[in-house]
Chain A
Amino acid sequence: MQQIVNFLFKNSMLLLFLLLLGISLSFTIQSHSFHRSRAITSANAVTGYTYEQINKVELYFSLKDENDKLALENAQLKSLLFNKKDTVLSAVPVNLGIYKVIQSKVIANSYSRQENYITINNGANSGIKEDMGVVSSQGVIGYIEKTSAGYATVITILNRKFRLGAKIKKNNHFGTLTWNGKSTGFAQLIDVPRLATVVKGDTIVTGSESTIFPENIAIGTIEKVYIDKKTNYYTLDVRLFNDMTSLGNVYIIENKDRTEIEQLQQATAPTNE
């Protein structure tokens, strides 16, 4: 007993070091795992409050840009509305009713790392839950990873964990949207079948099988086409419509039928995992 106590006492520094190292390493590894979300996020009261205060100051410097963007979006919506003046009621698709939109604001944005997140100033209190889609007036941004009472973190397109089913608008060929970690202006659409005719400049939009996003939300345009030698699929460089380095107002999309669809899919899929 005496010897154990002596040993612990003599090596207390080393043991404490190993303990702390173990804790922080497990946080790190957990944060890189695809299947589990991080334990340490900026969606908590302290960091959320701090970022909100900083954002209040920063907001004054980008007021003009934000106003321009919102005015532009207003104009687009107005033109949609005016063009459908006499058919407003019947022109609304039946399935539009399943989506609910919540407005929010980005208070912290990162884009210089391999795994980038943004923090928004609405959380569980505003009805935001995990895995809701986040878009701006120009297109897809990402989806919610974690929420606290007043804040939420978002995995953006600029994150190596990000996966989204997307398609070429013109001919409905599907692929998976990922990011290779190189440029903030471009994402990659992988696994596009060679049957598809891809032309530089074609628009990429969200696919119909996603339960997070509605169909046909803009993502970007095709910039470059590569042929993957190993799999004979196309890999496309997609120029994003959004400037991911300057984000202001965003919208969170809630799919009210999501849990129902997922339960149904889980009940149907064979359990071979």
Chain B
Amino acid sequence: MNSTVIINILRFILLLVIQVVLNKLDLFGFLNPYLYILFILLYPVNGNKTVLLLSAFLMGLLVDMFMDTGGPHATASVVLAYLRPTFFKFAFGVSYEYQTIKINDRLSPERFTFILISVVTHHLILFLLEVFRFSLILTTLLHTLYTTIFTLVVCIIAIYLVKPAKQ
């Protein structure tokens, strides 16, 4: 057990607890940020991908249990965890594996692109599966847009709060 593993386990538990509390927020009656996806975003770049997939699935399933949603969170998390390397490639360039990328650092355009594209993907899958009706597609897309903005802001604030830039 090295420190990275322990940090990630702690982060998993902490984010889950925060998410359960955040679910009570219901801003304007329907807006909730889904901060728990930070676990998937902040997972070490060169970390074990099998562990990431499994823990993302578990995280999604636990959130589903707490929210009584049935399964959309688990699905969206698994897809995000699987697509993460692709998003890295898109945001940081092909040779991302050889650089030392840190997501929890000062906000650069690359980091912002990565977080944005991840949040949009996750939320789109989440709300499509949660609503599950084509007749409500417009409402679903609007809901996705609002929640994406909210989650994005909360995620960036959370990253800054936990790790202030040392400059």
Contact = CB atoms under 8 A, between A and B. Distances in A.
B111 interface: no
Contacts of B129: 25, 28
Contact of B72 (A28, A39, A153): A28
Contacts of A31: 69-71
B119 interface: no
A38 B54 CA distance: 21
Given A24-B61, A38-B70, 13 more contacts: A13-B82, A16-B53, A17-B78, A20-B53, A20-B74, A24-B60, A24-B74, A31-B70, A40-B64, A44-B65, A47-B65, A112-B30, A114-B133
Given A24-B60, A112-B30, A41 B68 contact: yes
Given A113-B130, A114-B131, A114-B133, A17 B53 contact: yes
B8 to A, nearest CB: 18
Contacts of B136: 114, 181
Contacts of A20: 53-54, 57, 74, 78
A27 B32 CA distance: 22
Given A40-B64, A114-B130, A181-B136, A21 B71 contact: no
B67 interface: yes
Contacts of B67: 42, 110
A13 B49 contact: yes
Contacts of A40: 61, 64-65, 70-71
15 contacts: A20-B53, A20-B54, A24-B57, A28-B75, A30-B71, A40-B61, A41-B65, A41-B68, A42-B68, A51-B66, A54-B20, A54-B24, A58-B24, A108-B68, A115-B70
B30 to A, nearest CB: 4
Nearest to B56: A20
A22 B132 CA distance: 17
Interface in B38-81: 49-50, 53-54, 57, 60-61, 64-72, 74-75, 78-79
Nearest to A14: B82
B71 A50 contact: no
A108 B69 CA distance: 13
A32 interface: yes
Interface in B18-45: 20-21, 24, 26, 29-30, 32
Contacts of B66: 42, 47, 50-51
A25 B65 contact: no
Interface in A35-87: 38-42, 44, 46-47, 50-51, 54, 58
Interface of B: 20-21, 24, 26, 29-30, 32, 49-50, 53-54, 57, 60-61, 64-72, 74-75, 78-79, 82, 129-133, 136
- Most A CB contacts (10 A, CB to CB) among B24, B53, B68, B82 go to B68
A12 interface: yes
A144 to B, nearest CB: 13
Contacts of A27: 61, 64, 70-71, 74
Contacts of A58: 24
Interface in A110-131: 110-115, 117, 119
A112 B32 CA distance: 9
B144 to A, nearest CB: 13
A16 B131 CA distance: 26
B68 A117 contact: yes
A118 to B, nearest CB: 8
Contact of A21 (B24, B30, B79, B133): B79
- Most B CB contacts (10 A, CB to CB) among A27, A41, A110, A181 go to A27
Contacts of B29: 112, 184, 245
A185 B30 CA distance: 14
Contact of A50 (B20, B49, B53, B78): B20
A29 B128 CA distance: 12
A174 B151 CA distance: 45
B28 to A, nearest CB: 9
A17 B54 CA distance: 9
Nearest to A146: B68
